[in-house]
Amino acid sequence: MELINKSYPEEFILLGFVDRPWLELPVFFILLVTYPLAMVGNIAIILVSILDSHLHSPMYFFLTNLSFLDMCYTTSIVPQMLFNLGGSKKTISYLGCAVQLYFFHTMGGTECLLLALMSFDRYVAICKPLHYTLIMNRNVCAALASIVWLSGITYAVSEATVTLQLPLCGINKLDHLLCEIPVLIKTACGEKSANELTLSMVCIFMLAVPLCLVLASYACIGHAVFKMKSEGRKKAFGTCSSHLVVVLLFYGPAISMYLQPPSSISRDQPKFMALFYGVVTPTLNPFIYTLRNKDVKGAIGNLIRSTFTSKS
């Protein structure tokens, strides 16, 4: 199957907030602030997880993967959105659209599965503490992370490639801030019910199934936590509540966007949902984990102190 669809235009016009132009400047400045925050926060998580030997555990290995993923996630869309919102030319080339489609959905699909994997790690740590190091050893963690990344890539390549084959019949305007699968399906002309059905079925596997696994893991964790002593209960709640907040922030908007037919999606929903799970959540993730985790706060403090001490 050819990647380049001959019925596609050379470039797309991203309408964005064309009907609400007063929103463009506030959204531009919000992105201008949140993007560096996302980069700094996630880089800090990666550095302390690698440099601090106390954080060389499966939990922080997966958290490092999440931080790297979030950096790629926001970078795949924010620079282009800043360029369009800050200038008069609101276009993206066909090639740029295709590349963005693959990268954005690779990171999104991978994050869906990675969050479920992180909840499984917490389940084993709290409900099977005596077997934790045996079950979640280094090789198993590396294998699970590889499967998650490969699954995300497979999802993105298959869905994006099929979507790029849909005829647009000369239409070159996308009512969105970026190139996203549901919006391209909605814009396409001709019969597209098969594509909508395929997207819904795939997203059940990528969103609904992982979310059910997360909820099942936390049901077991909750049962185990209430049997603990107060000190252990407080530490378990501190770790798990951070992850649960991240899960809700990501899965909620993603499910509302992807588990309904693209033709039934309202006009403004894709824009705000994409800003939420593509920008807001990756920016908040490192701060949520840091503010609720004494180990990470201590490691960041040690890293800052060692940096200034070495300079002095």
| Annotation: CATH topology of 11-311 | Rhopdopsin 7-helix transmembrane proteins (1.20.1070)
* Residue type for position 182: P
For residue 172, what pLDDT is reported?
Answer: 83
Q: How far is CA 95 from CA 12, 66, 78, 300, in A?
A: 10, 27, 17, 40
Confidence of residue 199 (pLDDT cuts 50, 70, 90): confident
Q: How far lies 74's CA from each of 77, 81, 162, 188, in Å?
A: 6, 10, 24, 26
Name the band, by pLDDT with cuts 50, 70 and 90, for residue 230: low
Work out the average pLDDT over 208-224: 88
Confidence of residue 258 (pLDDT cuts 50, 70, 90): confident
Strand (E) or helix (H) holding 93: strand 91-93
For residue 312, what pLDDT band results from cuts at 50, 70 and 90? Answer: low
Question: What mean pLDDT do residues 104-122 have?
Answer: 92
Task: Report, as an integer, the average pLDDT of 78-94.
Answer: 87
- Amino acid 90: pLDDT: 86
Enumerate residues 6+ apart whose C-beta is below 8 A from 199. 159, 181, 182, 185, 258, 262
128-156 tens-digit pLDDT: 888 898 999 999 999 999 999 999 999 99
Distances (CA, A) of 279 to 31, 36, 75, 176, 302: 8, 11, 9, 15, 29
Check whether 250 has a pLDDT greater than 90.
no
Instruction: Name 91's bridge partners.
Output: 13
Going along 164-222, which residue ranges are E strands? Answer: 173-174
Q: Whole-structure pTM over 0.75, yes or no? A: yes
**How much is the pLDDT for 263?**
67
Query: Would residue 170 be called left, alpha or beta, if left means φ above 0 and alpha means ψ between -120 and 50 degrees?
Result: left
Q: What is the pLDDT of residue 8?
A: 65
Flag whether pLDDT at 45 surpasses 80: yes
